[in-house]
Structure 1
């Protein structure tokens, strides 16, 4: 199982590598490997909705711009694909202040009890969460009580992707969830 998770994580990283483009240049089209050569084709959908980052709610925090993906739900891989296709990536959170700003904005849009993907994952090594968007280990955390728990579902899937979720009315906290779960997401653009 560890090898397949590492392989999927590596393939995922390779599938979504997109060079950073200037704001005036549209990012290159994603190159997805053929389904028969890798599991990556099972993780994402090549047909992206015709929405773009300019029709998504936006807010700023310091030097970052965030876009709330609230027009459709997607699994973690497809959400990441969508953000990258539009020259962004799933958000990474580095402080309580940043987490609070995300929570405030999500509440203001009326989505406080929804789930939102961000770029945290432990797909490469169980229990070692890092931000896929930066490749850096997660240092600031805001886990819900008892999380991460790597719950294992009847179908064998484990929880390896990080979401924001207010499960008990006490604010958006972090939860590890099955990457295949379809929910909203937060994209981030940095200068």
Structure 2
């Protein structure tokens, strides 16, 4: 299944795959879901490092599966409403000024940030 993607990284038992396409957050979730996959969500430093290998150019970002809705004042849940066990928030993140919903990206340096502009184009990376 993973061989059909232009970007494939194996970390432990997990694969990160991507066609190197960029799109908005909702499209990213849909893209992975339609293929029976989930939007990428690193669970440790090794996975976070493997995920950012998708970037070939600087200033790149990829969507990750952190819940859009704030939970008790911060972004602490994944898309399946499970508590995040690993995070790598950029300084000042998650942005507490975002009151409603925001989408989380990982930057080329591996740091996470919440962006209320979920329509921005970022890399779509799924996990198996």
Specify the TM-score bucket, using the shorter chain as the normaliser.
0.7 to 0.9
> What SS does the aligned partner of 1:100 have?
helix
Instruction: Name the one with the larger helix percent.
Output: 1
Aligned positions, number = 126
> What SS does the aligned partner of 1:135 have?
coil
Cα distance change on mapping 1:147 and 1:53 into 2, 3 Å: farther
- Report how far residue 69 of structure 1 moved: 4.2
> What SS does the aligned partner of 2:4 have?
helix
- The TM-score with structure 2 as length reference comes to 0.82
Cα distance in 1 for partners of 2:58, 2:84 equals 23
Cα distance in 1 for partners of 2:123, 2:90 equals 19
> What SS does the aligned partner of 1:97 have?
helix
Match of 2:54 in 1: 106
- Report how far residue 94 of structure 1 moved: 1.1
Is structure 2 residue 90 aligned with structure 1 residue 144? yes
Q: Which has the larger radius of gyration?
A: 1
The 8 Å contact of residues 150 and 177 in structure 1, kept in 2 or not, is answered as no
Match of 2:23 in 1: 74
Gaps of 5+ in 2: none
By relative contact order (CA 8 Å, sep 6+), the higher-ranking structure is 2
The 8 Å contact of residues 151 and 159 in structure 1, kept in 2 or not, is answered as no
1:97-152 deviation digits (Å, cap 9, x = unpaired): 2112222x224xx13420100111241534142111x4311121111111111455
